[in-house]
Amino acid sequence: MNLSVFCILSLFHLAGNIRARKLDRIQLFDVFENLIAIARFDSIRIHRFEGTFLAEEVGTVPFKSRSGVLLDLKLINRLTVSYCDKNCCWLCYLKAHKETKCHVFVFRMSRFETETVAAQFHLVSNNVATIRHEERMGGGAFEKYVFTPDSFDMEPIFLNSQALDGVVKNQTHLQSFRAREFTYSLGAATHFYEPMCLPHKESKKIPCFGPTNVEKNVRITRVCDNDISPYLESKMDISLLCGSEDSNSTALASYFNVALELLTIVFGSPSSSIASICRISIEEMKRKYLETWDACVKMTNSSKCQENSKQSSDCEITIYKFGYFYGFGYCDEFHNDDSESICLTGKNERKGWIENFVPLRREFSERFDKADDEIVSIAEESESGSLFVLLKSPNGTAILQRKSTGVGRKSFNHALLNLLDLADVEPVPLILKSGVLFFVRNNSVEIRPLTCRGMYKSCEELKFGVERRGDDPLNCAWCEPEFGPAYGVSMDDISCPVVKVDGCGLDANTTLRPVAVMSPDKYWPGIIVKPLLIALLVLVSSTFIFAMVVFIIQRIRGKKLWDSESLSYHPLTPHSFPQPYISCFAYRTQFEQFKRINFENLTIDWNYIGKGEGLLPFNF
């Protein structure tokens, strides 16, 4: 019986430990200036970081998710945090010494479970939340919520506007971001090629929804920030393509550089392990959207498209109609004659959302082999020529790689050279801001500046074979100074005299170089001053050590006297007048109490001190 009870208690204890470890795991994190918001399975906490170390916790956010699994987290500013699960999003305001207030945005009801969510909040001129989410069966939508600052927890906010996706399946969401007063969403899905359906509405030769009319493509959707019309009429889709249609049919990961307004996309195909990289600027996308809009609003007759949908690019622009029974048609049904009013919704009667099936095509600039791994996220930094790729293997382990986008892209077949393989990382999306890389390792956020010293923490992390060919713009090596710890260093930095250039072992080649160049006539002051400084340092150190020894001996003697139960004699008191020897700490305590006395409220009595007569009265 006792053994059974012991086994049951052990199982409960083990289950409790497993649950505690799960709750303590990092789900997501975000960075704003010198603050990091870290979401675990039971809490969201804000930490301040200094350099490469997390400092104290500066705030907490109410964790209101019932599922506990977060799909989106953003640290919007120093006092505002948003997070989402599969049912709701919360926008919370942190206030010192006050209860944190939150808005709650409730998604529309769907028979399919939400898989991905990305929220963007426009809090400057108006309070609008733009939320993009995809469902388990592949459908998706843009939703907007309008709210007032005083609508908190007890008043859930329901959607104000909604724009549904077309007929798609196998949809994946990669990234949402804001730029130039627009909100963008990048994703990939399987679509029916609608322009092929329209000329053959009455024909059975080419079934519109048959397997021969299905294509996998990458799309970016744009919505005006100020559009709060019921159907979000400003929503437009354009297709993106990198390389040939056969080899790159889907997007695997993306990164938007806010400062450069540049979108880096990794394309791939289910039939190949090669990943190709394309870069598209916001300006290029803006021109494509304007061309699409102008072509659509200027179409007055679609009869030419009935014969061949690909004889004109205008025939490959369609509208996905509003209403309960969604359908599609050509742009002559759009009914909008103003080419400058993309965001002026409600001015004219629009029939649907514009979709352009002619892709914005770009050639790939680099490529790399991802093997069977899944790309969790990427980040790119141009100054150091770095592309960071976080990969997750089929067995669940993750690895962080740094690849060169500088000289390396000129190598054979545009293949990227790998400059770092960092194991023991978590498959949590990484963040790159202000030249600093943030990622999760050993269940903690690790911070590494994009320098040789910041990126490489051990000699083994360096790729010496690559470094010697000069394929790394940072040009890193390993410094082993005579005194102090070793560290990563640029070959252009002459502050380190001993540098390993091709390996980490004892037999690795090293380069010896002077720390600084000095003329011979300036050597003699250093020869004289250096021994004097060393002698002075030894003298000061010896004096300090001697003083510390004397101090410790005195403290030990004082403690022995204080711990004694018998009365001792103060060194300055005659032996005929025994007094207890009280330490300095006790005197200081009595003095602190003495200072608290309000002397103005005291009444002084005449009292004699001692037993004899004729003594003077005590007076202040």
Banded pLDDT at 53 (limits 50, 70, 90): confident
Q: Which of 51-60, 268-277, 395-404, 461-470 has the lowest mean pLDDT?
A: 461-470
pLDDT higher than threshold 80 for residue 557: no
CATH of 171-364, one of 3.40.1260.10, 1.10.3430.10, 2.40.37.10, 2.130.10.10: 2.130.10.10
pLDDT value at residue 20: 44
Alpha-carbon distances of 552 from 219, 339, 429, 538, 582, rounded to whole Å: 74, 87, 54, 21, 18
Banded pLDDT at 496 (limits 50, 70, 90): confident
Burial class, 164, CB count within 10 angstroms (exposed 0-12 / middle 13-18 / buried 19+):
middle
Helix (H) / strand (E) containing 403? strand 398-404
Q: Which residue, among 67, 182, 78, has the nearest Cα to 117 in the 3D structure?
A: 67
Rounded-to-integer distance, Cα 433 and Cα 451, Å: 14
Mean predicted confidence (pLDDT) in 562-567: 41
**Higher-scoring residue by pLDDT: 345, 190:** 190
Banded pLDDT at 562 (limits 50, 70, 90): very low
pLDDT higher than threshold 80 for residue 209: no
Q: Which of 238-242, 299-303, 378-382, 605-609 has the lowest mean pLDDT?
A: 605-609
Banded pLDDT at 302 (limits 50, 70, 90): confident
Reading the block at residue 478, the tokens are 């390993």
pLDDT value at residue 603: 44
pLDDT value at residue 82: 93
pLDDT value at residue 126: 67
pLDDT higher than threshold 60 for residue 264: yes
Beta bridge partners of 82: 74, 91
pLDDT value at residue 391: 96
Instruction: Render 3-58 in DSSP notation, one character per residue.
Output: HHHHHHHHHHHHHHHHHHHHHHSEEEEEEETTEEEEEESS-EEEEEEETTEEEEEE
Region label for 66, one of left (φ > 0), alpha (ψ between -120 and 50) or beta (otherwise): alpha
Q: What percent of the chain has pLDDT over 90?
A: 28
Written in H, E and C, the secondary structure of 323-345 is: CCCCCEEEHHHCCCCCCCCCCCC
Q: Which of 85-94, 200-209, 351-360, 416-425 has the lowest mean pLDDT?
A: 200-209
Q: What percent of the chain has pLDDT over 70?
A: 70
Q: Which residue, among 72, 17, 71, 73, has the nearest Cα to 45 in the 3D structure?
A: 73
* 528 Cβ contact list (under 8 Å, min separation 6): none
pLDDT digits (tens, 9 = 90+) for 535-548: 777 777 777 787 78
pLDDT higher than threshold 50 for residue 583: no
Beta bridge partners of 299: none
Query: For all residues of the chain together, what is the average pLDDT?
Result: 76
Domain boundaries of the chain, sorted by first residue: 171-364, 371-450, 518-620
The segment with the largest mean pLDDT, out of 116-120, 148-152, 456-460, 593-597, is 456-460
Q: How many residues does the chain have?
A: 620
